[in-house]
């Protein structure tokens, strides 16, 4: 997957594209996979890097949502549980089965969650991934030796999926390309084109690397820009009512000593009524999340001090050792693109997570809401609408059984940090055989080898040091300090591959270092 080749294909095409997708997060990339695999001429444009927005900042769960069950949103849970099963089935190299334990500190908690989780198990039907089970106090401690034992009565174990979100996004980009789709990062959509009747028939976009602008013809245009959806809607109708309510969620990453075994903790009711997770991820532990209403969308949102304190304090209530700021290896924040509630007075945690597909009078298709877990179904619904709007030949969705690029059942992301490459892992190892110096580690703790940087530039459209350290590997999210330490070496290797000079390296490092205040506390 090379950016220059993608640009060439964009310039070469003389006919209108069947479907042009704006936004390269979970939603847009899922749509590109769906559209391309149905045989439509598909183009996706992303203003920054793939998954730069919310889609690299999730809690990494592929889940039905125990919380939504608590809220009684049965249809959402049913849909998400089905999609959870399909995601594990179609991308086993990126999604794995994760055991969660709900610790019980009140005698009535045990039976209450046991019943609820049995319903959860039953709702996943044929695509179930394990049965929930009551645990004694000793079993709970055996699985989570770091759990606070004061007043502990026992626990309930249940199963959901876990994944690497940014790597999944990249694999979706590769899947779209496999079906002849064109996906381009650093290409910002700046306006919409309309015919004499006022119907959208294309858009304008700027290549942010070269500054060159393009007029692109399209039979349908899909706005899949997450929290930025209102800005694109305004390109169509400047006075349109805003419909997105961004809600911020932050995560803290701490060392494995806080959760040494493979079990995750799920706290169904924090003191302010939220759900909190502590989940092992790439040999570290992710703690989160929060739900804070935000005024405006941002590409690089920043954790608030109160959010950090809240997570540390809540984690401390369930763990033997209270995590402190000094234990935090990285902090990352994301914005949920929630649909604004109709009435006033609803808090963000009560806003529905269902997705909505909307069509404007001029034919702009906008998709908002949803979750990473339901990206496939969201894409199917959106492309079904695009077929009608663009008068495209009717073709059925094929993604329910479509393997995601790199599909390999034998790889295990819990034990093998190269599993996220899927079948390309073996090509990466071949590269190391051909050029043995590339097998050297840049960082053993992240872990990161030189070959991964070369691979990301040659085959994964990594354009910046941030692309490399935040999304091609997850260093910035896992250990920010270590990522800033190795950035100069990463920049030097990338510069060689991209045939760039010293000025490029210093610009890259300057830009990357600006992220310090966001990921380090
Ligand atoms: C804290 C948090 C935790 C979450 N945890 C989970 C979880 O565990 N499991 C789960 O299933 N879901 C989870 N979610 C939800 C999930 O992450 C989101 O629903 C999903 O990532 C949204 O994807 P998106 O593609 O709609 O948005 P984004 O990922 O934000 O993508 C939109 C893209 O559009 C691009 N864009 C914007 N304007 C333009 C333009 N003019 N031209 C070109 N490109 C443009 C942006 O750069 C961006 O990359 C979580 C969300 C948050 C915030």
What are the beta bridge partners of residue 162? 61, 96
- Cβ(334) to ligand 1 under 6 A? yes
Chain-centroid distance, C-alpha 467: 14
Phi, psi torsion values for 108, nearest 5 degrees: -80, -15
The per-residue pLDDT for 354 is: 86
Q: Quick check: 80 and 371 in contact, CB under 8 A?
A: yes
Provide the pLDDT confidence category of residue 349 given band limits of 50, 70 and 90: low
Phi, psi torsion values for 458, nearest 5 degrees: -75, -35
pLDDT one-digit tens code per residue, 228-260? 999 999 999 999 999 998 999 999 999 999 999
The per-residue pLDDT for 363 is: 98
Mean pLDDT of 173-184: 98
Provide the pLDDT confidence category of residue 348 given band limits of 50, 70 and 90: low
Compute, in angstroms, the gap from residue 300 CA to the centroid of ligand 1.
Answer: 12
What are the beta bridge partners of residue 462? none
Mean pLDDT of 123-148: 95
Q: Atom 23 of ligand 1 has which residue's CA nearest to it? A: 26
The SS3 of residue 100 is: strand
- Cβ(52) to ligand 1 under 6 A? yes
The per-residue pLDDT for 73 is: 83
Ligand 1 binding pocket mutation candidate from 21, 22, 25 (most atoms within 8 A of CB): 25
Residue with structure tokens 């940090």? 417
CA distance linking residue 162 with residue 493, whole number of Å: 31
Phi, psi torsion values for 252, nearest 5 degrees: -115, 140
The per-residue pLDDT for 344 is: 55
Instruction: Name which of 56, 520, 478, 98 is nearest 256 in CA terms.
Output: 478
DSSP states along 378-422: HHHHHHHHHHHHTTPPP----GGGPPPTT--TT--TTT-TTGGGT
Instruction: Name which of 156, 159, 158, 160 is nearest 106 in CA terms.
Output: 156
- Environment class of residue 72 by beta-carbon count within 10 Å: exposed (0-12), middle (13-18) or buried (19+)? exposed
Mean pLDDT of 400-412: 96
Ligand 1 atom at shortest distance from the alpha carbon of 27: 25
Ligand 1 atom at shortest distance from the alpha carbon of 30: 25
- Cβ(206) to ligand 1 under 6 A? no
Ligand 1 binding pocket mutation candidate from 65, 160, 226 (most atoms within 8 A of CB): 226
Provide the pLDDT confidence category of residue 416 given band limits of 50, 70 and 90: very high
What are the beta bridge partners of residue 135? 155
Compute, in angstroms, the gap from residue 149 CA to the centroid of ligand 1.
Answer: 37
Checking if the pLDDT of 351 tops 70, the result is no
pLDDT one-digit tens code per residue, 2-38? 999 999 999 999 999 999 999 999 999 999 999 999 9
Provide the pLDDT confidence category of residue 272 given band limits of 50, 70 and 90: confident
Compute, in angstroms, the gap from residue 518 CA to the centroid of ligand 1.
Answer: 18
The per-residue pLDDT for 389 is: 97
Share above pLDDT 70 across residues of the chain, in percent, rounded to a whole number: 98
The per-residue pLDDT for 101 is: 97
């Amino acid at each position: 997957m090379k950016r220059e080749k993608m640009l060439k294909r964009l310039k070469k095409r003389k006919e209108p594209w069947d479907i042009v997708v704006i936004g390269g997060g979970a939603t847009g990339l899922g749509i590109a996979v769906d559209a391309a695999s149905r045989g439509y001429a598909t183009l996706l444009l992303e203003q920054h890097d793939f998954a730069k927005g919310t889609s690299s900042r999730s809690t990494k769960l592929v889940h039905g949502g125990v919380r939504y069950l608590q809220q009684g949103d049965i249809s959402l849970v049913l849909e998400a549980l089905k999609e959870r099963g399909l995601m594990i089935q179609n991308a086993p190299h990126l999604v794995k089965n994760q055991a969660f334990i709900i610790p019980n500190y009140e005698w009535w908690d045990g039976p209450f969650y046991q019943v609820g989780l049995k319903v959860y198990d039953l709702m996943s039907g044929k695509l179930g991934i394990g049965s929930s089970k009551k645990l004694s106090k000793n079993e709970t401690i055996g699985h989570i030796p770091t759990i606070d034992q004061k007043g502990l009565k026992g626990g309930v174990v249940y199963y959901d999926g876990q994944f690497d979100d940014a790597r999944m996004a990249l694999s979706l980009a590769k899947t779209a390309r496999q079906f002849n789709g064109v996906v381009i990062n650093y290409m910002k959509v700046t306006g919409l084109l309309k015919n004499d009747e006022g119907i959208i028939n294309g858009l304008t976009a700027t290549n942010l690397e070269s500054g060159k602008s393009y007029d692109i013809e399209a039979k349908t245009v899909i706005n899949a820009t997450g929290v930025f959806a209102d800005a694109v809607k305004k390109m169509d109708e400047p006075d349109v009512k805003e419909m997105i309510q961004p809600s911020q969620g932050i995560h803290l990453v701490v060392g494995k000593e806080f959760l040494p075994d493979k079990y995750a903790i799920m706290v169904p009711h924090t003191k302010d009524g939220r759900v909190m997770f502590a989940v092992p991820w790439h040999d570290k532990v992710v703690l989160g999340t929060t739900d804070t209403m935000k005024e405006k969308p941002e590409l690089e949102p920043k954790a608030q001090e109160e959010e950090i304190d809240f997570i540390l304090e809540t984690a401390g209530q369930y763990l033997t050792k209270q995590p402190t700021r000094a234990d935090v290896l990285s902090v990352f924040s994301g914005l949920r693109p929630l649909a604004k509630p109709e009435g006033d007075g609803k808090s963000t945690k009560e806003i529905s997570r269902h997705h909505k597909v909307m069509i404007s009078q001029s034919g702009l298709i906008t998709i908002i809401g949803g979750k990473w877990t339901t990206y496939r179904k969201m894409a199917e619904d959106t492309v079904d609408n695009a077929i009608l709007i663009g008068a495209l030949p009717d073709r059925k969705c094929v993604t329910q059984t479509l393997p995601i690029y790199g599909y390999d059942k034998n790889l295990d992301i819990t034990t093998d940090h190269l599993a996220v490459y899927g079948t390309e892992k073996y090509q990466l190892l071949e590269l190391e055989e051909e050029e043995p110096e590339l097998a050297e580690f840049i960082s053993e703790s992240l872990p990161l080898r030189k070959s991964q940087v070369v691979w990301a530039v040659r085959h994964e459209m990594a354009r910046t040091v941030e692309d490399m350290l935040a999304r091609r590997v997850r260093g910035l999210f896992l250990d920010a300090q270590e990522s800033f330490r190795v950035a100069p070496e990463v920049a030097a290797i990338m510069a060689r591959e991209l045939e760039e000079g010293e000025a490029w390296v210093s610009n890259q490092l300057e830009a990357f270092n600006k992220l310090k205040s966001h990921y380090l506390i």
